[in-house]
Structure 1
Amino acid sequence: MKALVLSGGSGTRLRPLTHTSAKQLVPVANKPILFYVLEGIADAGVTDVGIVVGDTAEEIRAAVGDGSRFGISVTYIPQHQPLGLAHAVRTARAWLGEDDFVMYLGDNFLLGGISAQLEEFRIRRPAAQIMLTRVPNPSAFGVATLDDTGRVRVLEEKPEFPKSDLALVGVYFFTPVVHAAVDAIQPSARGELEITDAIQWLLDQNLPVTSSTVDGYWKDTGNATDMLEVNRSVLESLAPRCEGAVDDESELVGRVVIEKGAVIVRSRIVGPAVVGGGTRVEGSYIGPFTSVGEDCTIADSEIEYSIVLAGTAIDGVRRIEASMIGRQVRVTPAPRSPQAHRLILGDHSKVQIRS
């Protein structure tokens, strides 16, 4: 059994953060989403892992290395253009050989891992096994329609008029017969080889395709809102820990993690929250569901329900909430006069300003 992890793609919905960073390496609770994926694969007992990489290949390689830190062995598989999930399977064909495999999208977060689903696949060994979850906006996903007995009948990729609210979770289990399906399909209207079309081909050949419904927490972390929600979910499971320095004038309330080397001075931190190593928090308030990365400075400021990446400084800002702030950012108060906003923004930025 092998695992194929997809870590290409440009992450357009997370711009401007992903102009300079792989979307799979954007952290929640100070750990990249991709690391949760690899840990889940290792926990399921799969150690032979291929990671499909694109333009951010060097960054992914630098972060993951040979995989030994996760208890796995990693092979990197270049995909020169992101032409669909089925195209990624085709790209990895030589490495996959005739092995069964699980394909896991590297920007998906699935609480509870995949061990149970993998064991079910090994026992039943259908041509394909998919995971489904009910969503309020199925037209944004691949959608499955089941018959009255619960068997998979039809799959559609981002349909304009969905026939059900069952979305495909970004984890798929396949036997080698999927390669024939990938070779048989044509690019979709958006120019991609869709994995839903490949699975539909299997169904049309009367090959067994099974499904299970995910009752636990799952998110496709494709945008800032979902990243903040995943961050909240992970932080809620934290066990409080303090390995940094906290002075007598500071207060830690609830599930708060202070990493080694962090310094907290005259501040109040209400959990769940995590403060990374080397970060200094002084005269500030950090509210629930906030993760602050390594080597940051937060002074005379308030921040809540936010993600702050490494090396950022926030100084003298009264209130920040529901925000994602990238690496090496400087956030300071604007001059009180003249009454104007001075902005330096990258492409595809979104800014909300009080008028």
Structure 2
Amino acid sequence: MNVIIPMAGMGSRLRPLTLVTPKPLVKLAGKTIIYRIVDYICNNLTANSKIKTIGFILKKESPQIENYLKDSLAKKYSFDIMFFYQRKPEGTAHAIYCAKNILKGKVLVLFSDTLFFLKKKVNLLNKIDDGTILVKEVKDPSQYGVVTVEENNIVNNFVEKPKFPKSNLAIIGVYFFMDGLSLLKEIENLLKKGHKEKNEYQLTTVLKNLTTQGKKFKALAVDDWLDCGNPEQLILTNKYLLNQQSKISDTLDLYKSQIIEPVYIGKNVVLRNSTIGPNVSIEDDSVIENSIIKNSIIQEKTSINGAKFNNSLIGRFVNYKSNYSSVNIGDYSNFSENE
């Protein structure tokens, strides 16, 4: 099986946190978003040994992303890693088409800003339908691609961000295809005709056409679906992960400080005269002094003094000494009330 992961988005809704570090490389509770996604599919949707190649679709060449993925994933798992490039944002179907060289055989497509969880492991390779679409019931389906289903959860229609939804089953951005070549041919037809919806080549259009041709896709509901697309959602996702597993490194240097779990505190963190938590992630080699911090995400090698943070995002190599209550600070920032 081949896996395709489009990650060509700019992460603009998370800026300035993502001005230097791409969104998939942001860490939540000690692990990057993209690492969590790949690790989960290897252990819960299929056996790692069944994955032949993972193709990552980037906006452009990026040594930072490419080296990280090679170092963190290829060394742990046995699959090959390839990179493809979507130079212009022309939609989800076009993004997948950029990886046409591996659109063959069984193919899993999933997008890089979504974490999801199932109560039971599912081996998609054992399914007998033409494919599987992972979905989740939502309150406002007009913000998502949605499906309607008939008997046995077979999908009978796909609609991209409907104004008047006929279903509350949102597509979470994970798709399994038994025959990648059929998907490729239908995307090529779409591109040849120039058939765009909302100014882009949509994967939902491709799926709708394949369904009309007789292909049967089954909807599989996930138990939890977490979005990492904007600051509010990223903080909620971090909270969810911390509630699954709170962790404090035994290398913590603690002085006159209180920790309110759940928290994640990485290696070689220093806490001085501070209250940390709940729902705070602090990555490796950071120093926190004279601060009260809750519901926040702090990346590695950052120094914070005098903060009273709630619902905040702080990047890598930040030097902060001020008194704002909620911030979003990008990497390598020097943030002082005296400047």
Query: Could you tell me the TM-score, scaled by structure 1's length?
Result: 0.82
CA shift for structure 1 position 63: 1.5
Structure 2 gaps of 5+ residues are: 331-339
2:114 to 101, 108, 119: 108
Residue 193 of structure 1: which of 186, 201, 218 is its match? 201
State the structure with bigger RCO (CA 8 A, min sep 6), 1 or 2. Answer: 2
> 1:117 offset after TM fit, Å?
5.0
Q: Match of 1:237? A: 244
Q: CA deviation at 1:281?
A: 0.9
User: Residues 188-337 of structure 1: matches in 2 within 5 Å?
Assistant: 188-214=196-222, 216-238=223-245, 255-258=246-249, 260=251, 262-317=252-307, 319-333=308-322
Q: In 2, Cα distance between the equivalents of 1:115 and 1:292?
A: 30
Unpaired runs of 5+ residues, structure 1, are 239-254, 336-342, 347-355
Residue of structure 2 equivalent to 1:65: 70
Inter-partner Cα distance in structure 2 for 1:8 and 1:113: 30
Return closer, same or farther for 1:311/1:234 CA change in 2, 3 Å cut-off: same
Asked if residue 85 in structure 1 is aligned to residue 89 in structure 2, the reply is: no
Paired amino acid for 1:257: I
- Superposition pairs for residues 160-171 of structure 1, below 5 Å? 160-171=163-174
Q: Tell me how far apart the structure 2 counterparts of residues 144 and 4 of structure 1 sit (CA, whole Å).
A: 21
Q: Deviations over 1:196-234 (max 9, x none)?
A: 0000001111221221112x2112211111111111111
The more displaced of 100-109 and 181-190 is: 181-190
In structure 1, the residue corresponding to 2:122 is in which secondary structure? helix
Cα distance in 1, alignment partners of residues 25 and 119 from structure 2: 19
Give the distance between the partners of 1:288 and 1:230, measured in 2 at CA: 14
Runs of 4+, deviation exceeding 6 Å = 343-346
Partners of 1:37 and 1:231 in 2: CA distance: 14
Residue 353 of structure 1 corresponds to: none
Structure-1 residue corresponding to 2:188: 183
1:295 Cα deviation (Å)? 1.8
- Judge conservation of contact 1:141–1:157 (CA < 8 Å) in 2: yes
Q: Which residue of 1 aligns with 2:42?
A: 42
> Closer, same or farther in 2 for the Cα pair 1:225/1:70, shift >3 Å?
farther
SS of alignment partner, residue 163 of structure 1: coil
**Alignment CA distance shift 1:115-1:78 (3 Å):** farther
- CA shift at 1:161, angstroms? 2.3
Q: Distance in 1 between matches of 2:14 and 2:271?
A: 27
Cα distance 1:195–1:344, how it changes in 2: closer, same or farther (>3 A)? closer
What amino acid is the match of 1:228?
I
Please give the alpha-carbon distance, in whole angstroms, between the structure 1 residues aligned to 2:329 and 2:226.
28
Aligned equivalents of 2:70, 2:287: Cα separation in 1: 29
Cα distance, 1:184–1:165 mapped onto 2, change above 3 Å: same
8 Å Cα contact 1:38/1:70 also seen in 2 = no
SS at match of 2:244: coil
What is the correspondence of 1:22-37 to structure 2 with a 5 Å cutoff?
A: 22-37=22-37
> Does the 8 Å contact 1:41/1:113 carry over to 2?
no
* Contact residue 146 and residue 171 of structure 2 kept, 8 A: yes
| 1:135 aligned to which of 101, 121, 138 | 138
Take 1:26 and 1:75, find their aligned partners in 2: how far apart are those partners? 21
Q: Percent of aligned pairs with the same residue?
A: 27
Q: Give 1:156 deviation, angstroms.
A: 1.1
In the superposition, the TM-score normalised over structure 2's length comes to 0.86
Asked whether the 8 Å contact 1:133–1:169 carries over to 2, the reply is yes
Change (3 A) 1:161 1:30: same
Structure 1 residue 109 displacement after superposition: 0.3
Instruction: Give me the CA root mean square deviation.
Output: 2.4
Task: Quote the Cα distance in structure 1 between the aligned partners of 2:41 and 2:317.
Answer: 32
**What is the rounded CA distance, in whole Å, between the counterparts of 2:199 and 2:228 in structure 1?**
23
CA contact (8 A) 1:42 1:70 kept: no
Q: Structure 1 residues 292 and 105, CA, compared in 2 at 3 Å: closer, same or farther?
A: same
**Secondary structure, in 3 states, of the residue corresponding to 2:55?**
strand
- Whether 2:164 is the aligned partner of 1:158: answer no
Q: Distance in 1 between matches of 2:278 and 2:295?
A: 6
How has the CA–CA distance of structure 1 residues 170 and 264 changed in structure 2, closer, same or farther, with 3 Å as cutoff?
same
1:6 deviates by: 1.6
Question: Deviation at 1:149?
Answer: 5.8
Q: Is the 8 A contact 2:55 2:83 kept in 1?
A: yes
> Cα–Cα, structure 1 residues 50 and 115, in superposed 2: closer, same or farther, change >3 Å?
farther
Q: 1:51 to 1:124 in 2, by over 3 A?
A: same
Q: Tell me the amino acid that sits aligned with residue 222 of structure 1.
A: G
Give the corresponding residue for 1:246. Answer: none
